[in-house]
Each structure stands twice: as structure tokens, then as C-alpha cells.
Chains A and B, each alone.
Chain A
Amino acid sequence: MQSLLNQIPSFFTYYNVMLLLWGIGSTVLLTAAGCGAGFVFGALIVLVRITKTIWLLPIKIVVITYVEFFRRIPFLVILYLVLFAAHAVDPTLSLFGVAVVSVCLLATAYLSEIIRAAIESVQRPQIEAADSMNFGFWRTIYEVVLPQAWKVLLPPATAFVIMFIKDTSLASQIGVIELMFTGKILANRSFSGLLVYSVILICYFVLSYPLSRLAAWMERRLAAPTGTESQRILRTSAGFAGYQSYG
């Protein structure tokens, strides 16, 4: 313990802090790339799946197979798979590039299912009502489905993003310099493992905690539009007290 405390001044040198920041940046970038691509391509997959036209059938089969497959294999396996596939196709692809492709593949598969569940939570009669009034496909999605699906989407989507921040640590296994890997580098420099990984832990916490607060805030905001003014105030104060009895 004494040696650990003694190490602290020599641990937080300019070089080490820059390395940690590099790691954090890399982790954030991987998460952002994965989740960004995941939301865009996930939404496209859902669009393909809910569109009822026969000529989309081949594409539907492909995307369903992809989603079901990639949700069932470990992220580490995807990483190695992409690594070796990349070496066969384009040996110049960097390790970071491999990791980006991997996180996109994984996040798209998961997020498409989360988005689909949210869209399908909108009850069929809501869509029929819109249909009977000539809303058309896009107008129905925009005016009726999305505003209602949003609330259902938010909690699992945030949970996924937070989980995903942690999952990107697996990219360290193929040598991508993200937060976990910077930990390994520092530990190899004969700093106390306890000290190094405690710092890494704090970094992960700092990354994910604001996100969960943001999500909680957004959920309260989104819950507000329905309900009377007084209910809204009650709900908000109940939210602050950490007690949520309103659905």
C-alpha cells in the first residue's frame, strides 16, 4: 500500500496522462462509431424488416440472418474474425480500423433489435387509425410511430451504449490502443497493477456515469408530455428523489 502511494507522483506524469487520454479518446471513438453506425444501419434494417413488399424478401433474409448471427457470437470472436478477414482482403487496414468495423457489426445487430422492439411496441390500432386517414408510410412513422417508440427505445438503448463502452475493452486483445490497453502498457512499466487498473476503472466510470444521468433526465423529459401539469411536477420531483412511481 505504501509503495502504491509512493508511486502516485511518478504515475501522473505528462506522458502517462497523455497516454490515458489517448486511451479514453480511442474508447470514446470506438463507442461513438459503433453506436452511430448502429443507430443508422439498425434503423435501416428495421425499415427493411417492416416494409411489406415481396421484392425486399432476399434482403430481409440477409439482414435477419446477420442480426440473429451477430447477436449470438462473442465480441472477441467477431474481433478476431474481422482481423483475419481484413488481413486476407486488405492487409493495410489498421488494428483500429479492424476494431471500428467490429464494433459497427456488433452494435448494428443489437441496436436494430432494440429499435425493432420499440417500433413494434406501438400498437397496431394506432397505425390503422393513421392508415384510415391517409397518412401514408413515412407520415405514419414520423407523426405516430417514432414519437411513441422513442420512450420505449430510450432505456434499453442507453443501457446498451453503457454496456458497449465496457465491451470495447475487448479490442485491447488484438492490440488496439484504447483505455484498457493503455492500462496494460502502464502495468507493464512496473507501476502497481492495483493503481493502474483503479485509474482505468475511474476512467470507465467517468465515461459512463454522465450518460446514465443524461438518459434518466431524458426519460423524465419524455415522460412529461402526457399527464396533467400537476402530475408532471409530481413526476419530476419524484424522479429527483429517486423514486419513480409513475409509469
Chain B
Amino acid sequence: MRDISLTVEQGEVISLIGPSGSGKSTLLRAIVGLTRPTSGEVILDGVPINYSSRRSLREARNRMAIVFQQYNLFQNMTVLRNVTVTPIKIRKRDRREVEQEAAHLLDKVGLADKHHAHPDELSGGQQQRVAIARALALKPEILLLDEVTSALDPELVNDVLDTIRVLASDGMTMLIVSHEMAFVREVSTRVVMMDKGSMVEEGEPSEIFNAPKTSRAREFVGKILRHR
């Protein structure tokens, strides 16, 4: 990846679009330090994250949360435990308070009746909503969503998208990788088009989708619109 420069303001919802293999997911993974970039910087509130320093990385990770395409819920834990384990064990917060919050979050994502289910008993859409609740329980300042609907059956996609819509209206700062173009267009404050590991174009959703400036973006958007 090269030539990536992106500033995210608080409360913004930024979507990364582009063909498969263009580096969208890699960018999110690099931000949370799951993939190490060879060069470049991620600056959080004016302070660069030092990915080779455990302390710096831990502090950065305490302020963000990522939701994965394949949910990655802990298979050995119940839904409630998935949501509460990090606040209780890692953040050392009070169990009762955390569990109350978790119940509220699970209610918010429509899974109030699934506290004691295990991930393998839930549908993909339900698992993904648990994963979102788990991420929100960390009270992140920025939420990274990595193709969160790509592994879901079509009829389950909307449940998850509705959940994200609510978050957007609540003012959550989000960086979204998605192939759901209608959703991206509706929910984003800005859209970034990526191709072959670089940023191709950046702008408001209406600009990118209606009047793309670069030929690569025009080609990509044209293809998508033709598919619809």
C-alpha cells in the first residue's frame, strides 16, 4: 500500500470502497496493529501510534474497536460473556455495571433474549450484531467496520445495517469498509475510493457516486451501477 493520507474528524462516518484486493481491509487492520506497515504513520489526536511499543499500541487500542467480516466472536463464551469479557478482565471495570451496559447494548442490537446463547447457535446476522455490541462495550472513540455484512445471507444484511445506521445517527465516529453501495451512499459523510493499495479519490458520497473526477473511480462506480 502507498499514497494513503486520510484524516478522520470526530463524528465522521467514512466509507472505504473499491475492488477486492485494493487494500481497504488491510488499511483497517494496519490501524489496529494486526498488520504491520513497513512505513507510514497513524496519528491519533495529534500523537503518532508507535506500533512497536506495546504501551503505545495498547493505549491506541483502548480507544478503538474493530468488527470483523467473520464476526470472530469467542466460540467458547456466551453472548453476554463475549460482550463483557474485555471490559471486566482487561479494563478491570465493575462486573455488575458492565453487565448492565452489556444488557442495554444487546437490547439495542435486538438480541435481548440471547444472553446465554453460544455463538454457534446464532445466525450470521445475529453473531455480527453481537460483535458490534462487543465492540461498543469497549466505548471506542472510533469504530472500524471491516465488511461486516459480506459474510451474511442477503436477508440478514439489513438487520446489521440498521444497527450501524443507529450508531451513525448517535454520532459515532466510524471507518467503514463495505460493498453495500446504497448503504455507503446513505450513511457516509465522506467516501474514499481505493484501488491497488492506493487512494484514488476522496469526496462526499454525492461527488463520488454522481460525478467521480478520476477515470478509475468513474469505471468502478459505472460497473456498480450497471450491476444494480
Task: Please list the residues of chain A having a beta carbon within 8 angstroms of any beta carbon in chain B.
Answer: 125-126, 128-135, 139, 143-144, 147-148, 225-228
Contact = CB atoms under 8 A, between A and B. Distances in A.
Contacts of B33: 132
A133 B76 contact: no
B48 to A, nearest CB: 19
Contacts of A135: 86, 90
Nearest to B121: A228
A128 B118 contact: no
A128 B68 CA distance: 10
Nearest to B73: A129
A225 B65 CA distance: 28
Given A128-B34, A228-B121, A133 B75 contact: no
Q: Is the interface of A mostly helix, strand, loop or mixed?
A: helix
B223 interface: no
A132 B32 contact: yes
Given A125-B72, A226-B118, A227-B121, A131 B86 contact: no
A226 B89 contact: no
5 contacts: A130-B74, A134-B86, A134-B90, A226-B76, A227-B120
Most buried by B among A135, A139, A143: A143
Interface of B: 32-34, 58, 61-62, 65-66, 68, 70, 72-76, 85-86, 89-90, 117-118, 120-121, 138
Contacts, number: 55
Contact of A126 (B58, B72, B85): B72
A130 B82 CA distance: 11
A125 B74 contact: no
A50 B32 CA distance: 22
Contacts of B73: 129
Given A144-B76, A148-B75, A132 B70 contact: no
A125 B68 contact: yes
A39 B118 CA distance: 30
Given A132-B34, A134-B61, A139 B76 contact: no
Contacts of B75: 126, 148, 226
A134 B58 contact: yes
A181 B12 CA distance: 78
A226 B61 contact: no
Most buried by B among A129, A130, A148, A227: A129
B66 A148 contact: no
Contact of A129 (B62, B72, B117, B120): B72
Nearest to A149: B76
